[in-house]
Every structure is written in structure tokens, then in C-alpha cells.
Amino acid sequence: MSTVAAQPLPNTVDPRTARKVTLAGCVGIFAELYDNGIFGFMAGSLAAVFFPGSDNAVQLVFLGYAVSFFFRPLGAVICGHLGDRIGRQRMLVFVILLISAATAAIGVLPSYAGIGVAAPALLILLRVAQGFSVGGEASGAMSFLAEHAPEGKRGLYTSYAQIASFLALLTGTLVAAAMTSGLGSARMESWGWRIPFLLAVPLGIAGIYIRKRISDTPNFTRLKEKDGLSKNPLKEAFASAEHRRAMLLALFIPLMNGSGYYVLFSYMPTFMSTELHFGKVQGLLVTASSLVAICIAIPYMGRLSDRIGRKKVLAGSAVAMAVVGIPCYLLIGTGNVALAVIGACVMAVVFAGHTGVIHILLVELFPTRVRYSAYGLGYNVSSALFGGTAPLLMTYLIDRTGNVNMPAFYAVITALGTLIAVSRVTDRAHLPLRDA
């Protein structure tokens, strides 16, 4: 192993370059998360097209949604290894190409009426490709942004990527709402459902174009010039007690993502339609309101974490979610659109303190040599276990118990889990990123 600098070096990237790189990262994340999120928004239409006549059609769609998450760790391992070996920029171009192709392919799939059981089988296969890609995206994009960000602004700069991810969900929500309202159920199930997936083509082209025009990070370049890159970053991470502990933290700190990102946003339109008897457009518009709220709140949380530290913001968000989770879901459950908007928006603002800060905290847990691999594995295993399964779990529990408040209980439990995990973290918000 080559000798590398023992002391962390401050980032000297000029603000103009940092802004350009942030735009590139955000455009790519927007495309990735739109492609991934539209599957959940179109669950009702997909159920009718690919599982016609089944009493459990929506559950089967969310099973396909969940299965893809178990391929995220594989994407994290492979893309992380290559990202730590050959560079972040190359892998970020690859993952956006893969997910754009997979999403567009869903848009041209024959229906169950056309090719029978092969149709849902192909749907699941393409979801697997999406999951693999997203597994390589999150840790790669966040590492890329953090390693380019000016000192003292890592929380703010990486929070912009989370705004992009929620803007992608907002776009998917509005597209789904507009098309459902304009075309009606019959035309949506006939051909309209394809259009949101085919939008992946121009989004992907834009993301690939921008990402190909940016250079790799100063941290990675510095290590490469010193011949300090790890030959097997994941093996190196597992060989270190410090890195093993950090990977465990990366597994449990994101628990709140399960009740926040995957229930409050991805699952909420279906939940409001099937369980609370809102109209489809009403449910989508409630979700859209909460997405606007979280996009406004996220940069404030990122900037706050730069000032007072990541732990305090994350812990505060977890405590607040444990307190407001059940009351907010009760507001949503009243069936009144105005009260539902209030409940969803309050939860969104509270969740912003988690989602706007979690990725930079995880980035800072690891040195550049193993960051993409180790952070990616821990985070994506967490997403598979507690995130992607959440919509399926909520659908199952509500069906078995008849209690529509299951998402509220899940919000409280996952918030408390995150709080416990965060208490074990050493905050590195005010220190330079480590290379080794």
C-alpha cells in the first residue's frame, strides 16, 4: 500500500467549479430519481396493465418495487469498487445511462394481454436494472458533490442534490396527476401509462451530456496522483474495525428514509387512493404540496448542519418525527384535503432535517480510498431492508389488520431507530474530508 497524506487536506475547489459540478450532479440525480419514482406513482395503472384480474394487483406491483431494492447493494458494490478504482465521474455516466435505458424499456413493454406472464416478468427484470443503477448513484453522486464542495459548505452543496431528488418526485407526481386527470382511467391503462416512462429518454440524454463534461474530484485525483488508490476498497473497509463500525452506522442511520421517502412520498398517492378513498388526483396533489414544502426546507437544513453539526440536525428531525408522526397521519386520515395537506407538509418539513443532512454525514464517515464502496454498501443495504420494502409492508399490514394508521406507527419506530444510531456518530462537519 502506498503512503498517503495522514492529515486531511482542505478542499480548494473554486466556487464557480463547485457550482458547475453541483448542477451536473443534480441533473443526473433528477433523472435517476424521476426514473425510479415514476414506478411508484403509476402503481395503479401498472397493476391493471400487468396484473389484470388479480385481487392483489397493487401488492404485486409493490412487490416488484421492493425486489429491485435488493439489487441496490449489488449495484453499490460493483459501481463502488469501480468508482473507487477508476473514478466517480465515469461511473456516474454509466449509471444514468443504465437507468434511462431500463425506464424507457418499461414504457414500450407489451401488456399482460399481449404476451401473458412474460409481461410482468420483464417488468420486474427492468426494475432490477433500475435498482442496480440507483445502488451506484446515491453514494457516487453524493461523494462526488461533497468532494467538490468548498470547505464549510458541504452540507449546503450536497443538500441541493436532495432537492433535485424531490423535484424529480414532484415532477413524477404532477405528470401522473395531469395525465390521470386529462386522460381518465381507461386511456391511461390503454396507452397513457407509457408516456411518463418514455420521458426518461430526454432526461437521460441531458444528464449524460452534462456529466460527461465534468472532471473528477480533487480528492480522487489527489489520491490517484500519489498512487494511493485502494486495490480492493471493500475488502479494505471490512478489514478495518473503524470502517466496519461506520458501515453499520450507514445501515441504521437511514431508517427514517423508510417512513419518509418511501412511505410519505412514493407510497402516499396509492395509500390515499386505495385506503383513504381520496380521488387519485387529490392524493397526488396532497403529495405534490408536501414535496414543495420539503424542497423549500432542505437547503436550510443543509446550511444549518454546516453551522451546528450533522448530529444535532438529524437528532432533532428524528425526535420531531416521533412526536408529530401519528398526529399528522391522523390529519391525513380525516379525508379532508386541506387537513391532509397540512399533515403531509408538516411531516415533510420535519423529514427535511433527515434527508437534507444524512448523505453528507455518511460521506464524512469514510475516507476517499473506500468512500464510494463502503458508504454505498451500508446505505443501500439499509434501503433494501427498510426502504423499498416499506410500501409492500404497509399494504400488507393494512390488509391484515384493517388499521390504516400503520404508516404512522412505522414513522415513529423508524425515527426512534435513527435517533439511537445517530447518537453513536462522531460528527465531522467542521473537519476536512479524509483521503485515507
Percentages helix, strand, coil for the chain (3-state, rounded to 5) are 80, 0, 20
Task: Inform me whether the pLDDT recorded for 1 exceeds 50.
Answer: no
Per-residue pLDDT averaged across 318-333, rounded?
92
Angle at Cα 78 formed by Cα 72 and Cα 79, nearest 5°?
Answer: 80
Reported confidence tier of residue 327, pLDDT bands at 50, 70, 90: very high
Indicate if the alpha-carbon torsion angle 361, 362, 368, 369 is positive or negative.
positive
Write the pLDDT tens digit of every residue in 21-72: 888 888 878 887 787 667 777 777 888 888 887 878 877 887 877 788 889 8
C-alpha distances (whole Å) from 330 to each of 42, 399, 409 are 25, 18, 11
DSSP 10: -
pLDDT digits (tens, 9 = 90+) for 171-224: 877 887 788 777 877 888 788 889 988 988 888 888 888 888 888 888 898 888
pLDDT in tens, 86-110: 888 889 889 989 988 998 999 999 9
**Mean of pLDDT over the chain:** 87
Residue 423 contacts residue 316 (beta carbons within 8 Å): no
Contact 141, 234 (CB under 8 A): no
Stated pTM of the model? 0.86
Q: 3-class DSSP state for residue 120?
A: helix
* C-alpha to C-alpha distance for 424 and 436, rounded to whole angstroms: 22
